[in-house]
Amino acid sequence: MKVVVTLDDSQSVVYLDKLRGYPECKADINGGRATFLLPLDNIYACGTIRVLNKITGEKIFYHRVIVEYPKNPKEVILVKCVIPGEPRGYTFQNRTRRNVLPENFSEPE
């Protein structure tokens, strides 16, 4: 997954959430743009969150990018990548309600 963040200030610090000093997941900053390359085949490399919808087969990948400005408070950007999948042939079973109590059962008052 490729994430590009436009930076307004050259003094800004941009990093992935909870991975500020991690060298393998640093952004490439070039011309006011910070680019992250997050591998989707190995989500553990940079801490990407994967959600799989088993009914639709859709995969959703999440991460947070933090931008710290020198004079303004930090900004948190949620990035998301959706990969559509093929629906699987799940069938839902209809269950009938059954009586589990005996016929002559009476609750005490």
Question: pLDDT of 74-93, one tens digit each?
Answer: 999 999 999 998 876 666 67
In percent, how much of the chain has pLDDT > 70?
Answer: 94
The answer to whether residue 105 sits within a structural domain is no
The answer to whether residue 90 sits within a structural domain is no
Residue 13 pLDDT > 80: yes
Terminal-residue alpha carbon distance, the chain: 64
Per-residue pLDDT at 89: 66
Residue 2 pLDDT > 80: yes
Range of the domain at 20: 2-83
> 3-class secondary structure for the chain?
CEEEEECCCCCCEEEECCCCCCHHHCCEEECCEEEEECCCCCCCCCCCEEEECCCCCCEEEEEEEEEECCCCCCEEEEEEEEECCCCCCCCCCCCCCCCCCCCCCCCCC
The answer to whether residue 106 sits within a structural domain is no
The answer to whether residue 39 sits within a structural domain is yes
Q: What total number of domains does the chain contain? A: 1
| Between residues 61 and 106, the one the model is more confident about | 61
Question: pLDDT of 19-52, one tens digit each?
Answer: 998 999 999 999 889 999 999 999 999 999 999 9
The answer to whether residue 31 sits within a structural domain is yes
The answer to whether residue 98 sits within a structural domain is no
- Contacts for 50 with CB less than 8 Å, ≥ 6 apart: 40, 43, 59, 60, 61, 62
Residue 60 pLDDT > 90: yes
- Specify the pTM: 0.74
